[in-house]
C-alpha cells in the first residue's frame, strides 16, 4: 500500500506543477506583448461579470443534508453562483455553435 501512496503524492505534485506552469508561462510570454495582457484582463473581467450575474441569481438555501457537510448560506450561494455561471456559459456556447453552423449553411 505504501507504493500506491507514494505514486498518489507524486501525481498530486505533478498536477500542481502543471497548473502553476499553465498559469505562469502565458503570463511570462505576455509581458513582451502588453496588448495580449489587456485582452486576457478583458476576458477575466467578462467572466467575473457573468459570475456576478450567476451569484445574484443564486439562492442561499441550506438543507439539513448540506449542514452535515459544513455548507453554510454563503458557500451555498457561491456554489449556486458557479453553477448558474456554468449554465449561462453553456447556453452561450450552444447559441454560438448553432449560429456558426446556420451562417455556414446560408453562405
Residue 1 has pLDDT above 60, yes or no: no
Which secondary-structure segment (H or E) carries 82?
A: helix 73-106
Q: Are 80 and 62 in contact (CB under 8 A)?
A: no
From the CB of residue 66, how many other CB atoms can be counted at a distance below 10 Å? 15
To 5 degrees, how large is the angle CA 8–CA 9–CA 14? 95
- Domains of the chain, residue spans: 1-32, 34-107
- CB neighbours (10 Å) of residue 81? 20
Taking only the tens place, the pLDDT of each residue in 19-50 is: 999 988 888 888 887 777 888 888 889 999 99
Q: What are 47-104's pLDDT values in tens digits?
A: 999 999 999 999 888 888 878 888 888 898 999 999 999 999 999 999 999 999 999 9
Is 14 or 44 the better-scoring residue by pLDDT?
Answer: 14
Amino acid at each position: 500500500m505504501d507504493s500506491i501512496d507514494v505514486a498518489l503524492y507524486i501525481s498530486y505534485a505533478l498536477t500542481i506543477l502543471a497548473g502553476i506552469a499553465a498559469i505562469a508561462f502565458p503570463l511570462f510570454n505576455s509581458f513582451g506583448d502588453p496588448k495580449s495582457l489587456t485582452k486576457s484582463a478583458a476576458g477575466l473581467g467578462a467572466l467575473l461579470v457573468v459570475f456576478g450575474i450567476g451569484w445574484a441569481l443564486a439562492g442561499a438555501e441550506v438543507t439539513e443534508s448540506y449542514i452535515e457537510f459544513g455548507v453554510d448560506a454563503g458557500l451555498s450561494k457561491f456554489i449556486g453562483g458557479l453553477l448558474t455561471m456554468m449554465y449561462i456559459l453553456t447556453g452561450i456556447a450552444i447559441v454560438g455553435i448553432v449560429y456558426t453552423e446556420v451562417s455556414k449553411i446560408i453562405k
